[in-house]
A = this chain, B = another copy of it.
Amino acid sequence: MVRRERKEVTIADVAQRAGVAPSTVSRVLNGHSGTPETRGAVLAAVEALGFSPDSIARSLRSRETRTVGLQVIDIANPLFAAVTRGAERVLRQGGYTLLLANSDGDRAVERHLLTTLASRPVDGLLLSLGDESDTEVAAQVGALRVPVVLLDRNFAVPATDVALSDHRSGVRDAVRYLLDLGHRRIGFLGGPDTLRPGRERRRAFDEMMRERGVEPDPALVRTGSLSAAFGVRETAALLDLPEPPTALLAGGNQLGTGALETIRRRGLRIPDDLSLVICDDIDAARLNDPPITVVARDVEALGRAAAELLLETMTGRRPSGGGRVELGTHLVVRASCRRL
């Protein structure tokens, strides 16, 4: 272990140099005190010595760390990367630092994480856990002593705030759009039912199909994972069906890249051989030839909104719990769907 030497310059040194008591230095630095004279002396000493308060010692007394934990399933997923970027910015501007934890969707990691984070190093938490059906994790979240904001999750935990995407409206628009183009055999790729985005998209898909009098064919609905590998495999399976779909809705960006990969590999053309819509506007969709129609949302704004929600409760402007933001999704029509 690195054994670092003692703090080079402490508040006591500043006090001595300024000819005042340590407590006075503390007060000046925290703005509780005012005589211009002593202020000047203290600040001069601070400057001369290059003093900067020890954040650990400060935290021990104040019981605040000015740190917020953010847990995501995979920071390399552009979705989470954008959320992180938005949250980090707002938190930094609010004087907080971000502690990042990547769970890889591993429950054991998430449990360990929550245990660690409960031992005080953070003032608040932004969570987008990997499995809403994990009751143990839910219990841990419920037992946390710090404010929590759930990111697009719907856990059975009462006192948390939530920042959500309104997946349903965008997916409904997408399905309606495909139906209007004459598609009836529409394939659906979705994440696990234990995660809100997957449930909402799936539900919106079923709803809109039925509203138009089209009963979704169970053989065309493939859910269970958000991975690109799942997208690759299930798209291939769908295409191998005796009656393959004429259109495909990928309910997740990695499912979308997986679908694209299979489509490429088989030499199929979009939209002639298959129409495609992807949820979340990623580079690979926008820059595709032809550009892919997507269900877009401002993911970075979601991160910002979540961070703002958390800041409000951490700074006492609002009690924790019950807070809720929901950001819209909308269909961006490009050129990946053909009229039947």
Contacts and interface: CB of A to CB of B under 8 A. Distances in A.
Interface of A: 1-4, 6-7, 52-57, 59-60, 63-65, 67, 70, 74-76, 78, 81-82, 84-85, 88-89, 92, 97-102, 104, 109, 115-116, 118-121, 123, 145-147, 257, 260-261, 264, 282-284, 286-289, 291, 300, 313-316
A314 B116 CA distance: 20
Contacts of A147: 2
Contacts of A121: 55-56, 67, 97
Nearest to A228: B283
Contact of A119 (B54, B287, B289): B54
Contacts of A316: 1-2
Contacts of A84: 75-76, 100, 102
A287 B260 contact: yes
16 contacts: A3-B63, A6-B63, A56-B56, A56-B120, A56-B121, A74-B85, A76-B81, A76-B84, A84-B100, A84-B102, A85-B102, A88-B100, A97-B99, A99-B99, A283-B284, A288-B288
Among all A-B residue pairs, the 8 with the closest Cβ atoms: A100-B100, A283-B284, A81-B81, A76-B85, A284-B284, A52-B119, A4-B63, A88-B102
Count of chain copies: 2
Contacts of A70: 100
A85 B146 CA distance: 26
Given A56-B120, A260-B287, A101 B101 contact: no
A2 B123 contact: yes
A228 to B, nearest CB: 9
Contact of A78 (B78, B89, B287): B78
A100 to B, nearest CB: 4
A98 B97 contact: no
A46 to B, nearest CB: 13
Contacts of A300: 76
A145 B4 CA distance: 8
B60 A56 contact: yes
Contacts of A289: 264, 288-289
A100 B89 CA distance: 11
Nearest to A100: B100
Contacts of A291: 264
A257 B97 contact: no
From A3, A119, A257, name the one whose CB has the most chain B CB atoms within 10 angstroms: A119
Contacts of A64: 1-2, 4
A84 to B, nearest CB: 5
From A261, A282, A287, name the one whose CB has the most chain B CB atoms within 10 angstroms: A287
Nearest to A300: B76
